[in-house]
């Protein structure tokens, strides 16, 4: 997988159609590129260029319209007359472009005024500031690649993304820039690619074009629809079960003082409850710790609620409610009454198998309710949240994990 895969490629990896590997350990002594998102401003441009020149570095100035490059060159010469400027773009003759790049690498120039030809180019460790004009017109993965052109050694890199005149907060281009400003840490490429997937949609993954309907139904629903379609093509009957409703008396949330940005909190909620396996949940919990500090108890409980929801739906549970006397799990009639579905029959057999093993206090009522010997008081802090850990053990039993490793205490 590349550092910033296009949404369709990333989605194919996330649903198992392609392999996925992550390299999250940065090179030794590498520093994160400090990112600024701001309007076009002469003072910002002048000060950023002069700061880089003062520490002996060089600058990329990206302007992605070839016809305007000479006018921008004159503007920069008037703004920073002491800087030596060269121009490079893809329409130049090959020999002239090669000569320009080599002379810039030899530090005969201070600023390379160019188009996006530097997006995935030669490693230039002396270039540690990049200024991108009209950055809100670029794609998210494209901006991430441009930011990666600086700060490639042990020197701190700086990226200035200048918004076009009239850019508004609700514009998609500004939202893309906000994603980059929020994700400045090293190894954040996967998180940025995931945001790109959510914003652009995965497109028509099974076809040649990318004009799918993700934005109309939402990413998670689209993923489920695609998964169902693949299962149907494989000859397996797909059951459409409603979302599980969970009422457990524990505090499971992301506090505002832990993640202050409301949009980021919403994204994290979606990622927690969209996690498809235990590895994803653990990775997300570790990511929260790296980005925001040690997770509070409520965030750990949120991860547990995501687990509970996933296990419930894996065996047809559509509801879970903890009362003062017991915990009730509602099983979907669609599962219990299935007669021609091998998967549903296996689930029913497993449920009866657990009940017949006489696990203490567990019983199945005729109307499809599992009653577990867990009371509301067991989920309180003074009880050490023992009820939550016991609940997870019971649900793992019904979800089909090892009876020995997950057996609840008698």
Percentage with pLDDT > 70 across the chain: 75
- CB count in 10 Å sphere of residue 272: 22
Q: Is the pLDDT of residue 152 over 60?
A: yes
Residue 129 bridge partners (DSSP): 59, 158
Burial class (CB in 10 A: 0-12, 13-18, 19+), 281: buried
Length of the chain: 410
Q: What is the pLDDT of residues 36-56, one digit of tens each?
A: 999 999 999 999 999 999 999
What is the rounded distance in angstroms from the CA atom of residue 192 to the CA atom of residue 266?
Answer: 16
Q: What is the pLDDT of residues 93-137, one digit of tens each?
A: 999 999 999 999 999 999 999 999 998 767 898 999 999 999 999
CATH code, 241-406: 3.90.1150.50
Residue 266 bridge partners (DSSP): none
Query: For position 200, what pLDDT does the model report?
Result: 61
Name the token pair of 242: 């409603």
Contact partners, residue 205, CB within 8 Å, separation at least 6: 8, 11, 12, 15, 17, 212, 226
Query: For position 23, what pLDDT does the model report?
Result: 63
Work out the average pLDDT over 6-10: 59
Query: For position 19, what pLDDT does the model report?
Result: 61
Work out the average pLDDT over 267-271: 87
Q: What is the pLDDT of residues 341-400, one digit of tens each?
A: 666 777 777 788 777 776 777 888 888 788 898 999 999 988 888 989 888 888 888 876
What CATH architecture applies to the domain 7-200? Answer: 3-Layer(aba) Sandwich (3.40)
More confidently predicted of 224 and 89: 89
3-state SS record for the chain: CCCCCCHHHHHHHHCCCCCCCCCCCCCCCCCCCEEEEEECCHHHHHHHHHHHHHCCCEEEEECCCHHHHHHHHHHHHHHCCCCCEEEECCCCCHHHHHHHHHHHHCCCCCEEEECHHHCCCCCCCCEEEEEECCHHHCCHHHHHHHHCCCCCCCCCCEEEEEECCCCCCCCHHHHHHHHHHHCCCCCCHHHHHHHHHHHHCCCCCCCCCCCCCHHHHCHHHHHHHHHHHHHHHCCCCCCCCCCCEEECCCCCCCCCCCCCCHHHHHHHHHHHHHCCCHHHHHHHHHHHHHHHCCCCHHHHHHHHHHHHHHHHHHCCEEEEEECCCCEEEEECHHHHCCCCCHHHHHHHHHHHHHHHCCCCCCEECCCCEEEECCCHHHHCHHHCCHHHHHHHHHHHHHHCCCHHHHCCCC
Of 292, 33, 295, the C-alpha closest to 186 is: 33
Q: Is the pLDDT of residue 290 over 70?
A: yes
Task: Tell how far CA 56 is from the center of its chain.
Answer: 37
More confidently predicted of 43 and 225: 43
Query: For position 341, what pLDDT does the model report?
Result: 65
Work out the average pLDDT over 22-40: 79
Say whether 241-406 and 7-200 share the same fold: no
Of 16, 8, 39, 5, the C-alpha closest to 279 is: 16
Pairing of strands 363-364, 369-372: antiparallel
Of 353, 355, 335, the C-alpha closest to 345 is: 335
What is the rounded distance in angstroms from the CA atom of residue 259 to the CA atom of residue 261?
Answer: 6
Name the token pair of 248: 């457990």
Q: Where are the domains of the chain?
A: 7-200, 241-406
Query: For position 211, what pLDDT does the model report?
Result: 44
Query: For position 393, what pLDDT does the model report?
Result: 85
Q: Is the pLDDT of residue 161 over 90?
A: yes
Report the predicted TM-score, pTM, of the whole model to 2 decimal places: 0.51
Region of 275 (left: φ > 0; alpha: ψ -120 to 50; beta: rest) is: beta
Work out the average pLDDT over 17-23: 60
């Amino acid at each position: 997988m590349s550092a910033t895969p296009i949404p369709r490629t990333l989605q194919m990896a996330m649903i198992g159609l392609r392999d996925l590997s992550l390299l999250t350990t940065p090179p030794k002594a590498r520093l994160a590129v400090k990112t600024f998102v701001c309007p076009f401003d002469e003072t910002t441009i002048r000060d950023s260029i002069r700061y880089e020149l003062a520490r002996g570095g060089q600058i990329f100035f990206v302007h992605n319209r070839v016809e305007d490059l000479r006018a921008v060159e004159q503007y920069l010469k008037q703004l920073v007359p002491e800087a030596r400027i060269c121009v490079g773009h893809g329409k130049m003759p090959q020999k002239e472009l090669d000569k320009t790049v080599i002379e810039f690498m030899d530090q005969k120039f201070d600023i390379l005024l160019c188009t996006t030809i530097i997006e995935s180019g030669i490693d230039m460790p002396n270039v540690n500031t990049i200024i991108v004009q009209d950055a809100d017109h670029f794609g998210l993965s494209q901006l991430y690649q441009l930011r990666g052109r600086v700060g490639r050694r042990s020197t701190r890199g700086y990226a200035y993304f200048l918004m076009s005149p009239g850019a508004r907060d609700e514009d998609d281009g500004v939202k893309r820039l906000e994603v980059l400003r929020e994700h400045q840490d090293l190894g954040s490429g996967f998180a940025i690619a995931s945001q790109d997937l959510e914003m652009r949609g995965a497109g028509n993954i099974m076809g040649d074009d990318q004009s799918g309907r993700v934005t109309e139904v939402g990413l998670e629903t689209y993923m489920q629809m695609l998964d169902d379609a693949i299962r149907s093509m494989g000859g397996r009957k797909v059951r459409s079960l409603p979302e599980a409703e969970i009422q457990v008396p524990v505090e499971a949330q992301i506090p505002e003082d832990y993640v202050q940005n409301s949009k980021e909190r919403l994204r994290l909620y979606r990622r927690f409850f969209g996690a498809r396996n235990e590895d994803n949940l653990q990775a997300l919990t570790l990511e929260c710790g790296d980005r925001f500090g040690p997770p509070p108890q409520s965030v750990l409980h949120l991860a547990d609620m995501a687990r509970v929801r996933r296990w419930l739906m894996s065996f047809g549970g559509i509801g879970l409610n903890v009362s003062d006397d017991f915990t009730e799990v509602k099983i979907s009639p669609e599962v219990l009454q299935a007669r021609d579905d091998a998967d549903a029959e296996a689930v029913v057999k497993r449920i009866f198998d657990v009940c017949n093993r006489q696990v203490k206090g567990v019983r199945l009522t005729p109307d499809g309710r599992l009653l577990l010997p867990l009371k509301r008081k067991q989920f309180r802090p003074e009880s050490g949240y023992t009820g939550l850990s016991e609940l997870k053990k019971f649900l793992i039993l019904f979800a089909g994990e090892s009876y020995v490793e997950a057996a609840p205490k008698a």
